[in-house]
């Protein structure tokens, strides 16, 4: 409507200019009227009415544009709100995770117990340190149990006992929940993780606390990594 009003004004200016040009169509039309004065008066009245209508429509269209702008702004901010909601969902506790486990744990299945501090896991959710649906070797953080399946070492004292203790906490086929630390993998490619079983038992802490009398996660961290506790 604003464009139409602009064309109307341009047309008016053109007619006024032609009115001062001799032998122009406007002058000829004016000269051919029986009552030129009355014709001009009616033309002016009609022009005023049309101009008022067009100006009113253009004004309403202009005043309505902020609403459109607000709508556009709202539309552009909607993806941001959706993204924020998505991030909140990703940071929320995974469905089924034990209440005692941290909110950022990843769900996995136990494939095999290798020994007292090493397991084979398969991640069953995407969010977390482990690649989904890939079997990986996991080394339990803060633990170093005696060897039972080392290539160059014999079965060490208390090694089978440590393995049996882990099997009491997590069994092949059971669900576990894992969390990484700053260093994700060791020099052998093992994933270095903290682990909770499906009942919410913190396996790393339980293994050490069973002989070291630790009661909390902080106690476990302050005790130092690489505890060969099963050889005591």
The domain containing residue 19 runs over which residues?
2-91
pLDDT on residue 217 = 55
Q: Is residue 6 part of a domain?
A: yes
Burial class (CB in 10 A: 0-12, 13-18, 19+), 3: exposed
CA distance 5 to 7: 5
Which of 91, 118, 150 marks a domain boundary?
91
Q: Is residue 99 part of a domain?
A: no
Q: Which residues contact 28 (CB under 8 A, 6 or more apart)?
A: none
Q: Is residue 114 part of a domain?
A: yes
* Cα–Cα separations (whole angstroms), residue 130 to 44, 87, 107, 192, 222: 82, 19, 9, 10, 26
Tokens (6 digits) for 165: 């203790």
Q: Is residue 119 part of a domain?
A: yes
pLDDT on residue 149 = 74
* DSSP helix/strand/coil, 68: helix
The DSSP letter of residue 47 is H
Cβ(15)–Cβ(26) below 8 Å: yes
Q: Is residue 25 part of a domain?
A: yes
Q: Is residue 97 part of a domain?
A: no
* Nearest to 179, CA basis, from 203, 162, 199: 203
Q: Is residue 76 part of a domain?
A: yes
Q: Compute how many other C-beta atoms are within 10 angstroms of the C-beta atom of residue 112.
A: 12
Tell me, yes or no, whether 85 and 130 share the same domain: no
Average pLDDT per run of 10 along the chain, which is 232 residues long?
65 70 69 68 72 70 53 50 56 86 95 93 94 94 82 72 91 96 94 96 89 55 48 40
pTM value is 0.54
Count how many domains the chain has: 2
* DSSP helix/strand/coil, 172: coil
Q: What are phi and psi of 62, to 5 degrees?
A: -70, -40
Tell me, yes or no, whether 134 and 209 share the same domain: yes
Cβ(125)–Cβ(107) below 8 Å: yes
Tell me, yes or no, whether 138 and 192 share the same domain: yes
Tell me, yes or no, whether 130 and 76 share the same domain: no
Q: Is residue 96 part of a domain?
A: no
pLDDT on residue 64 = 57
């Amino acid at each position: 409507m604003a464009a139409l009003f602009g064309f109307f004004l341009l047309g008016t200016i053109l007619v006024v200019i032609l009115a001062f040009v001799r032998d122009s169509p406007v002058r000829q039309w004016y000269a051919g009227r029986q009552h030129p004065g009355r014709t001009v008066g009616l033309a002016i009245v009609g022009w005023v009415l049309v101009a008022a209508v067009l100006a009113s429509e253009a004004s309403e269209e202009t005043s309505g544009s902020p609403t459109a702008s607000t709508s556009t702004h709202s539309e552009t901010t909607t993806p941001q709100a959706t993204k924020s909601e998505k991030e909140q969902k990703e940071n929320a506790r995974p469905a089924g995770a034990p209440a005692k486990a941290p909110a950022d744990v990843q769900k996995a299945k136990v494939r095999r117990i290798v020994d007292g501090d090493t397991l084979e896991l398969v991640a069953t959710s995407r969010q977390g340190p482990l690649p989904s649906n890939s079997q990986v070797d996991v080394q339990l953080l803060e633990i170093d149990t005696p060897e039972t399946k080392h290539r160059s070492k014999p079965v060490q004292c208390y090694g089978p006992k440590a393995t049996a203790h882990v099997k009491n906490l997590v069994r092949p086929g059971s669900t576990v929940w894992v969390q990484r630390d700053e260093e994700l993998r060791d020099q052998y490619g093992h994933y270095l993780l903290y682990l909770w079983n499906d009942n919410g038992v913190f396996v790393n802490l339980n293994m050490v606390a069973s002989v070291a009398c630790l009661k909390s996660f902080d106690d476990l961290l302050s005790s130092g990594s690489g505890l060969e506790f099963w050889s005591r």
